[in-house]
């Protein structure tokens, strides 16, 4: 099947104010900023990042099938002489200009998601739920920053009926310019928690930063906020100050507009009954964990607000799976039996760590199996970091985790707070802990690996998979955007 064009080159050039060079095609089928993964027919944007300059890889991108490259006038000479080029003053600014043009031409109903926890899983659930009703575009992976949001928006097909964008932040003021690009009809704040505290004086400051998402709402748009969160009133006030026409709440609270009535958790998913803006709906969620149940509420609320079919959206959530590194499950074949590996290595904060420990506590184990948590430091927590790590001991005990392995100077505080019978191993880094984990896992065990991205817990997952690669099989394929 031929991939339909995403942009004509004429439209791209006009939107970006670009000069043309070389033998240009009539259209491109997609946009890329990675020369290694660019597909045939796509436009390659030579963005200058913190470590690498895309201009150094223009030749490689074209050799790999890129239809053209977008380059800056100052680095025009980095490209081959006869290369098909669109030449601009600044490549990232040009990508933002193209994103503006994509938004202007799109008839799609758009939802934007932010929050301290659950952004990506909520975005993926929205993609599934809205996709049951019509063509839906969603940002890939966690493309939620100053280049990821413009890239995702510029990729919005003109034919899409719905679009979903994730918007993240580490500092105040980062969400505002991104949401003003996206201009959503619905804006969701999943929750406000103690994350990125290195950059904020209080959690209330984080709430204000998350509330920036309301500043870009389209006239008549709706804000969707968590009624169970202590900062819901602050978020509601900020939405009203931004002129938001409708503020809708979700949660277990009796006064929530979309309320969880009851739910049952299983090791492979959950069932739920909820009142979504007054309509009762029963449904199943394919991803295990109470946090996925709660995140289904803003998903179904947004689907209703956007005009999608609620019944279809709810039925579609049975297909939801954890995103890569956020609960992906793998079976490790160990000769005399199997072990379950839960990969939560993408990132961590106190809230997501407790949710992951709860999921591990529900995981099935063999006759002599143990539930094992392999945990790395949670970063960017500021002066509260030691106490927040130590406080995880309560969740470890509550969810009947048998052994805990701790990597990093901060996670050592958890190690010291745990009773001796829960001690699995401890080391200064994930790299040093790896051998202890590999030696400890036995058939029948359920093992969960989690930590902030900077704590580098991913290699432990890869080592476990590599050791048992001959017969390792994925239980749940990672979700792609």
Query: Is 131 annotated as contributing to ligand binding?
Result: no
Helices (H), 363-429: 385-390, 392-398, 411-417
Reported as type and span, the H/E element at residue 291 is helix 290-305
Alpha-carbon distances, residue 409 vs 414, 422, 424, 434 (angstroms)? 10, 18, 16, 16
Which residues lie below 8 Å from residue 96, measured CB to CB, with a gap of 6+? 150, 181
Tokens of 324: 């890569």
Q: DSSP characters for 28-54?
A: ESEEES-TTTPPTTEEEE--B-SS-BG
Residue with tokens 């799109």: 106
Angstrom distance (rounded) from CA 371 to CA 359:
10
First to last CA, the chain: 20
Q: Which residues pair with 69 in a beta bridge?
A: 44, 85
Number of H helices, E strands in the chain: 16, 23
How far, in Å, CA of 406 to CA of 461, rounded? 14
Q: Is 351 annotated as a binding residue?
A: no
Beta strands (DSSP E) in 216-346 are 222-226, 246-251, 258-266, 269-276, 279-285, 328-333, 338-344
Which token pair is 37? Answer: 């993964």
Question: CB–CB of 374/431 below 8 Å?
Answer: no
Q: Which residue do the tokens 């690669």 mark?
A: 469
- The helix-helix angle for 430-440 and 458-467 (nearest 10°) equals 30
Residue 201 burial by CB count (10 A; 0-12/13-18/19+): exposed, middle or buried? Answer: exposed
Strand 446-450's sheet: what is its strand order?
A: 423-427, 403-407, 371-376, 446-450, 338-344, 328-333, 473-474
- Is 463 part of any known ligand binding site? no
Residue 119 is assigned to a ligand binding site: yes
Q: Do residues 305 and 287 lie in contact, with contact meaning Cβ atoms separated by under 8 Å?
A: no
Q: Is 39 annotated as a binding residue?
A: no
Of residues 110, 215, 209, 222, the one with CA closest to residue 166: 110
Distance of alpha carbon 443 from alpha carbon 335, whole angstroms? 8
- Backbone torsion region of residue 196, taken as left when φ is above 0, otherwise alpha when ψ lies between -120 and 50, otherwise beta: left
Give the pairing of strands 19-21 and 85-88: antiparallel
Q: Confirm whether residue 120 is marked as ligand binding.
A: yes
Site of tokens 């019944």: 311
Establish whether 121 is an annotated binding residue: yes
Binding-site residues for ATP: 115-121
Binding-site residues: 115-121
């Amino acid at each position: 099947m031929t991939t339909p064009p995403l942009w004509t080159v004429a439209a791209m050039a006009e939107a970006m104010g670009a000069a043309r060079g070389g033998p240009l095609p009539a259209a491109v089928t997609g946009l890329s900023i990675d020369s290694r993964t660019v597909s045939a027919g796509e436009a390659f944007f030579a963005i200058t990042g913190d470590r690498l300059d895309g201009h150094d890889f223009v030749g490689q991108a074209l050799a790999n099938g890129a239809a053209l490259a977008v380059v800056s006038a100052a680095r025009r000479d980095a490209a081959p002489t006869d290369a098909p080029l669109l030449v601009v003053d600044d490549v990232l600014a040009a990508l933002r200009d193209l994103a503006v043009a994509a938004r202007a031409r799109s008839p799609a109903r758009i939802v934007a998601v932010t929050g301290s926890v659950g952004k990506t899983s909520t975005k993926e659930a929205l993609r599934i739920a809205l996709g049951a009703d019509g063509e839906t575009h969603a940002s890939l992976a966690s493309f939620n920053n100053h280049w990821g949001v413009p890239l995702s928006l510029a990729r919005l097909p003109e034919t899409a009926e719905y679009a979903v964008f994730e918007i993240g932040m580490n500092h105040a003021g980062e969400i505002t310019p991104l949401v003003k690009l996206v201009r959503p009809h619905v804006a969701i704040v999943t929750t406000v928690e103690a994350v990125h505290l290195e950059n904020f004086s209080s959690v209330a400051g984080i709430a204000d930063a998350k509330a920036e998402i309301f500043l870009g709402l389209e006239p008549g748009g709706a804000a969707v906020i968590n009624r169970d969160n202590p900062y819901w009133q602050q978020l509601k006030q900020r939405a009203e100050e931004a002129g938001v026409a409708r503020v809708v709440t979700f949660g277990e609270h009796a006064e929530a507009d979309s309320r969880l009535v009851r739910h049952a958790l299983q090791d492979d998913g959950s069932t739920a009954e909820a009142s979504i803006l007054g309509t009762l709906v029963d449904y199943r969620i394919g991803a295990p964990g109470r946090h996925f149940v709660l995140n289904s509420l803003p998903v179904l609320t947004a689907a209703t607000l956007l005009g999608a079919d609620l019944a279809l959206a709810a039925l579609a959530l049975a297909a939801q799976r954890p995103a890569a590194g956020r609960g992906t499950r793998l079976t490790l074949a160990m000769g005399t039996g199997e072990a379950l590996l839960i990969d939560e290595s993408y990132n961590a904060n106190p809230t997501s760590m407790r949710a992951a420990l709860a999921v591990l506590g529900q995981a099935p184990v063999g006759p002599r199996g143990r539930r094992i948590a392999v945990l790395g430091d949670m970063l960017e927590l500021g002066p509260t970091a030691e106490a927040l790590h130590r406080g995880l001991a309560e969740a470890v005990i509550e969810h009947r985790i048998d052994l805990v392995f701790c990597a990093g100077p901060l996670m050592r505080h958890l190690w010291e707070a745990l009773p001796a019978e829960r001690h699995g191993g401890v080391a200064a880094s994930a790299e040093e802990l790896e051998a202890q984990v590999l030696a400890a896992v036995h058939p029948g065990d359920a093992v969960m690996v989690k930590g902030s991205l900077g704590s580098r817990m991913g290699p432990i997952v890869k080592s476990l998979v590599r050791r048992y690669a001959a017969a390792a099989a994925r239980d749940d394929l990672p979700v792609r955007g």
